[in-house]
Structures are given as structure tokens and as C-alpha cells.
Amino acid sequence: MASDDKCVLYICLFCAIVKGAIPSFKVYETEHSLAFLDISPVSEGHTQVIPKYHAKTLLDMPDEYLADIGPAIKKVARATGAEQYNILQNNGKLAFQHVDHVHFHVIPKNTPTDGLVLSVDDNWPSRQANKDDLSATLEKMKGRFAALKRRPMLYQCATAGVLYTSGDIIAQQLIEKRGLRNHDIARSARLGFYGGFLFGPIITKWLQFLQRLEFKTPLRGVLYKTYLDQGLLTPAVVAFFFGSMTLLEGKGISEATERISDNYVPTLIRNWGVFIPAQAINFTYVPPHLRFVFVGVVSLFWNTYLSSVNAVSVEHPHPHPHAVDASLVEVGEKQE
């Protein structure tokens, strides 16, 4: 067994079953799904149906796996021979999920005391809802559906624009101590434009690309995605940032080249110090639909740093590569 397969045993019980590291009573299998008997059944034929993709909750599952697992559940339900049965799927600890890998219970219900036993009074705490309550809930859900349709681009680009603008405001007010009267609005606008119209589309498509990649084990997925993100995308984005900001300031290609040369190496090294551990956490623990938000929170502080470094480059065109932090202090003193 390869070393990465052994790691699966410590990461996910169901991944180990998929890999064959833990034996199971296999009932049914497809390219994307696996069904096996529950070893602590609540009724005869109690079966677990899982995707061969490590997704903690339903929202983390790629659509092709969802499309495959539905017919698999139907086949398993038919194979139990039960005319009545429950399909149970839990998401999160509060919802009684005990294994952090999506799984569907197929539970035959042959007698009142067999299988899943629920008390309507105790286990189904329903309450009377009036039309106004239902209408308000409907509008909220419609809004979320609309947001989901545009989130891959418009929502995330807008978020990136806000984050870059906020980072520059923090840089000017807290680090450089410019004060509201001396705040450079054009500079904040340039950062917001870069985040919303230049960086936003790139990072949105990039995260979608990483999400589509499949790996044999979760650990390998985290390592490769972090490597691709920080080894391929980041070096290009750091140069793209300084070059874009120089051009947005109305300067030429030669000035952009000089600014990239002056700031590229120290900025890239500091980026790796922040984002290699941050992205490792992101790809390991954060659901795919929330990864952009997580990156955004970390980026708010990083954008503050980038804005300050770019501002130093404007006032000091050829800083010593290891004197960036000292220059920031100098800029702050000049503004007071």
C-alpha cells in the first residue's frame, strides 16, 4: 500500500473503504459511487451509499457525483426488497452527521418497531406557519438561488473589489496615517478596479478549475492544489499586480518593469509565508462554496500590505529589497 493510501485511514473512514484499506460488505458499485451494508444496522438491509469523492457535506459534492449517486440509491432501495423505507442523509454535527464524508442511509421499514423509529411529537418539532412567514421564506430562498447563479463571477468579482478597496483604506488610514483629508481616493479606486475587474475574474476561474481536479486521496488533493495555487498562479499574480497598478497610475512599461523588479521577490516570499498555510487550511477544511470567502478574509490583511508596498514604490522608485518595512514607517512619518 502506498504511503498516501495509509494517510487515508487517518483522514476518512469511508475513503479507506473506497480504497479497500478497510473491508466492507459491498452491495453495489459504479464509477463514482459505492454501496455497502451498515455494520450497525437498524434493520435488515440497512445500506450506506457514498460517493467515491471526499466531500464532507452535500454542498461539497461535484454535480457528476450527485448525478451518479441518485440512481445508485434507487437501485439499492429496490435491492432491499422493502416496500417501505427511509432515505436519510445528514450534513454537519448538529444534524447528527458522525462521519465527515457524504453518505446516504437506505433503511428498510418493515414493521412499526423495525428500522428508523421516530416520534412525531419528539423528533419532528413542527410549528404552524402563516402565509406571511412562508412568503418571506420563499423570497429569501429565491434571492439565494439568484445569488448562486451569478456568484461564480459577479458576486466574487464584487467581493474582490470591495476587499482591495478596503485593504487600501486600512493601509492609508492605519499604516500611513494620512487622515481623511489627505486620503488618496484615486488610489483606492485603482485598487478596487484591480480587484473587481482584473483579479476577480482570474481567481474565480482558478478556484473553479481547482475544484474540478480529482485526486486519489484527500491529502494528495490538498498538497497538489496548494502547490498549483502557490507555485503557478501566485508568481504570475504578484507580477501582474505591480505591473497593472503602475499602468493604472498612467505610467509606462519601463516603470512597470522597474516596480516589478524592485518588489517581486520580497513580496512573493511574504505571500508564501501567509498563503501556503492559509490555502492548506482552505483546501482541507473549508467547503468549496466558502473557499473564496476564506481567501477574502485573509486577503483583506494581505491587500493592506500590498497597497502599502505599492505606495512605497511610488514614493521611492528603487527601494532596497529588504527595506520595505522600514520604508513603510518612513511614509507614515511623512504623512503626520
Active site residues: 103
Q: Are 34 and 49 in contact (CB under 8 A)?
A: yes
Question: Could you give the angle at the alpha carbon of 255 between the alpha carbons of 252 and 258, nearest 5°?
Answer: 150
164's grid cell: 482591495
**Reading across the β-sheet that carries 104-108, which strands appear in turn?**
26-29, 33-37, 47-51, 104-108, 85-88
Closest among 213, 272, 209, 287 to 237, alpha carbons compared = 272
Cα gap 111→84, rounded to integer Å? 9
Q: Are 259 and 236 in contact (CB under 8 A)?
A: no
Indicate the pairing of strand 85-88 with strand 104-108: antiparallel
Q: Who contacts 316 (Cβ-Cβ below 8 Å, separation ≥6)?
A: 327
Cα gap 227→234, rounded to integer Å? 10
